[in-house]
Structure 1
Amino acid sequence: MELQQLMEELGAYAPLVINGVKALIVLIIGWVVAGLVSGMVRRRALANPRIDDTLGSFIAGMLKWVILLMVLIAVLNLFGIEATSLVAMLGAATLAIGLALQGTLSDLAAGFMLILFRPYRLGQYVDIAGTSGTVKDLNLFVTELATPDNVQIIVPNGQAWGAIITNFSAHDTRRVDLTFGIDYGDDADKAMKIIADLAGADSRVHDDPAPWVRVTNLGDSSVDLTARLWCDAADYWDVKFDMTKAVKEAFDKGGVSIPYPHSVEIQKAG
């Protein structure tokens, strides 16, 4: 009798165990399918020049979450919970969920705003609240950045949308500002001509606006010359570094000195 009772009890739990196994299989398959579909959409969007990369990435991420939601509904159906009942349950728990997930919901809303207004796009170099990097991904909840030394940084969309965003890649051109200090005994006009000639000889430096070189400061140890050069945004760092090296070498050849910081002591006879 005890064995028969045990078998009956096990038989009562059998449907639940079977449904649990089915639910696990559905979850695994659904997760894999969601990843495959999202990846396929992302690749197709990136390969299509008519679709913006940022928008394609965002749609792929949103599609993944929609598929996972459908999988969740299917799993609940296995346990006898109908979709209408699920909606009613979610409706009753809206306040609790909203309070518990207010940060996540804020990130979700901010993700839509970032896609709508496009303060940055994939591949652009930006600074978000003091954190700089190249935008690698923008999905429903986070923005992924990669620093110049290839460190991954995850920024919640809520923080990104509420922060000051500096986009260094938004425009096609950028201005390179360079400052060089020369000795008070050197010829400022000669030094300015050296800088202007080097800028004019560099094909990456734009003629319009024309290179600008002026004396901008009389420092404690040097006369400061500032050069403002316009170039393509992609050439910014190369122009900055190459011009700095070229001016130093040209100053050495032309007899223009770059002084070390120093102080001059003047003694007056009593």
Structure 2
Amino acid sequence: MEDLIEQGFAYWPTVLNGLKALAVLIIGWIAAGMVSGAIRARINATPGLDATLGNFVASMVRWVLIAVVLIAVLGIFGIEATSLVAMMGAATLAIGLALQGTLSDLAAGFMLVLFRPYKLGQYVDIGGPAGTVKDLNLFVTELATPDNVQIIIPNGQAWGSIITNYSHHDTRRVDLVFGIDYGDSADAAKEVILALAAADSRIKQDPEPWVRVTNLGDSSVDLTTRIWCDAADYWEVKFAMTQAVKEAFDAKGISIPYPHTVEIQREA
């Protein structure tokens, strides 16, 4: 019995150190989240700084604090910081080879924040996947598609891809093509389209709306329309003009022909 008590007392320092380490780990993890959240809020509230920078810096601070907490936890078990640095130095090559993709993502994250090809809230296409930027942190970029599907892209892949930013400029050009019958007047159709463009307050008059006959197709004369609007109004303007032109053509007796073939027979 006395032996068991002595053994219990012998293990007590280890148990105590384990409890201390667990407490430090939990408190440090919570504190890292709180500090990073406060930094994010502070940067986002500062005029002239966008939310992309706030998210990135907050993510970086959080991981640095977690690393400090882990070093403190190891110190509780008697592993000194100098010994830890020596161990990390010896393992650097192996870690670098094993995590070369992760380190590439980290470096790419810094490049993305430095050059800002996209920001939070912008709609982008990153090498195929497209959506609204929801987060940019040390390692990944998070997108949300129009139907609210989450897409996670490693920063290394994002930086190495062609990035199409649909929200970078304040205005966008809407391109539409309307086909009319060969028996209808192209000038009358152009007047209808221009009148509709002038009546919609969302469509800019500078640059002025542009309508031209651009193709003589198999079944129709094609009129290409180019109008400018705010980037936020792009889709609504596109849909509204398509419907308005259809209804106006119907009212004016201008036909939008179905694909058809005209057969001409010649008598011998």
Give the shorter-chain TM-score range.
over 0.9
Q: For residues 122 and 90 of structure 1, what CA distance do their matches in structure 2 show?
A: 35
Residue number among 54, 59, 63 corresponding to 1:56 in the alignment: 54
How far does residue 50 in structure 1 lie from its aligned partner after superposition? Answer: 2.5
- Tell me the residue number matched to 2:128: 130
Once the two structures are superposed, the pairs formed by residues 174-213 of structure 1 within 5 Å of their partners are 174-213=172-211
How far does residue 119 in structure 1 lie from its aligned partner after superposition? Answer: 0.3
What is the one-letter code of the residue matched to 1:55?
L
Once the two structures are superposed, the pairs formed by residues 59-208 of structure 1 within 5 Å of their partners are 59-208=57-206
Q: For residues 132 and 230 of structure 2, what CA distance do their matches in structure 1 show?
A: 18
1:185 is paired with a residue of what secondary structure? coil
How far does residue 203 in structure 1 lie from its aligned partner after superposition? Answer: 1.7
Once the two structures are superposed, the pairs formed by residues 217-228 of structure 1 within 5 Å of their partners are 217-228=215-226
What is the one-letter code of the residue matched to 2:86?
A
Q: For residues 93 and 261 of structure 2, what CA distance do their matches in structure 1 show?
A: 69
How far does residue 127 in structure 1 lie from its aligned partner after superposition? Answer: 0.4
How far does residue 230 in structure 1 lie from its aligned partner after superposition? Answer: 1.0
Q: What 5-or-longer segments of structure 1 have no aligned partner?
A: none
Q: Give the CA RMSD over aligned residues.
A: 1.3
How far does residue 93 in structure 1 lie from its aligned partner after superposition? Answer: 0.5
What is the one-letter code of the residue matched to 1:12?
A
Aligned: 1:26 with 2:24: yes
1:260 is paired with a residue of what secondary structure? coil
What is the one-letter code of the residue matched to 2:38?
M
Taking structure 1 as reference, are residues 266 and 89 closer, same or farther at Cα in structure 2, changes over 3 Å only? same
Q: What 5-or-longer segments of structure 2 have no aligned partner?
A: none
1:155 is paired with a residue of what secondary structure? strand
2:237 is paired with a residue of what secondary structure? helix
Structure-2-length-normalised TM-score: 0.96
Q: For residues 89 and 268 of structure 1, what CA distance do their matches in structure 2 show?
A: 94
- Tell me the residue number matched to 1:15: 13
How far does residue 44 in structure 1 lie from its aligned partner after superposition? Answer: 2.4
- Tell me the residue number matched to 2:238: 240
Over residues 206-234 of structure 1, what are the superposed CA-to-partner deviations in whole Å (9 max), with x where a residue is unaligned?
12211110011111111111100111111
Q: For residues 222 and 15 of structure 1, what CA distance do their matches in structure 2 show?
A: 89
What is the one-letter code of the residue matched to 1:14?
W
What is the one-letter code of the residue matched to 1:44?
R
Q: For residues 50 and 68 of structure 2, what CA distance do their matches in structure 1 show?
A: 27
How far does residue 170 in structure 1 lie from its aligned partner after superposition? Answer: 0.7
What is the one-letter code of the residue matched to 2:178?
F
Q: For residues 246 and 24 of structure 2, what CA distance do their matches in structure 1 show?
A: 67
How far does residue 235 in structure 1 lie from its aligned partner after superposition? Answer: 1.2
- Tell me the residue number matched to 2:262: 264
Over residues 159-214 of structure 1, what are the superposed CA-to-partner deviations in whole Å (9 max), with x where a residue is unaligned?
10000100001111110001111111111110011101111122221122111100
What is the one-letter code of the residue matched to 1:250?
A
